[in-house]
Amino acid sequence: MNLELYTERLRLTPLSDADFDISLEMFKDPKVVEHFCDLMTEEEIRGEMPNWTKRGADGCIGIWCSSDRMTGEKYGSVMLLPMAIEEDDTNYDLLVPGEMPPGHIEVGYALKCSAWGKGFATEACKRFVQFAFEATQLNELLATLEEENTASVSVLVKAGFVSNGRMFCYGEDSPCYRLTRSEWVEQQAAG
């Protein structure tokens, strides 16, 4: 299966050790991590790279690096990952080659600040929804966020997600957005 994905402006490739640079840039920036994690040191980021590069379900579940198709500039990451429920972070041990992780799969994304406000997150999110429903047997995708992250809500809505109320995940009660395969198919048919 080809895990290198494209949009009009983006190239999305499975995250590798060569993407340490963009991980370092994002996870050391307080603006980037404000809504999803604490700042990380270079040593902590280096220690997480083996987890972040793990893949499950024949490579379909994991993290991808988002970069400019023309220049190669790295913008951030996009992911399809097992949603943490009781835990406060993703359980990367669930990413086993050849196996679909149990439980809910969520869509997520993070971009460096200079890539904000240009539609890259929406473009990448839409492509990942398409990939998830065309390349896997998933029947739904979820996404969660902090309530004040209105920019992320906008991305999800543009990608076809609808509010699914609140859900206990990452060890707390959070807003949840959902998109089913049948809803996505209907959206595609409607153009």
Quote the distance between the C-alpha of residue 25 and its chain's center.
Answer: 17
- Per-residue pLDDT of 39-91, as tens digits, reads 678 898 899 999 999 999 999 999 999 999 999 999 999 999 999 988 888 99
**How many angstroms separate the CA atoms of 53 and 55, rounded?**
6
What local confidence, expressed as pLDDT, does residue 59 receive?
A: 94
Q: CA distances (Å), 78 to each of 66, 82, 120, 134, 148, in order? A: 7, 13, 10, 17, 20
Q: Picking from 27-36, 131-140, 162-171, which range would have the lowest pLDDT averaged per residue? A: 27-36
- Per-residue pLDDT of 110-150, as tens digits, reads 888 899 999 999 999 999 999 999 999 999 999 998 777 88
What local confidence, expressed as pLDDT, does residue 77 receive?
A: 93
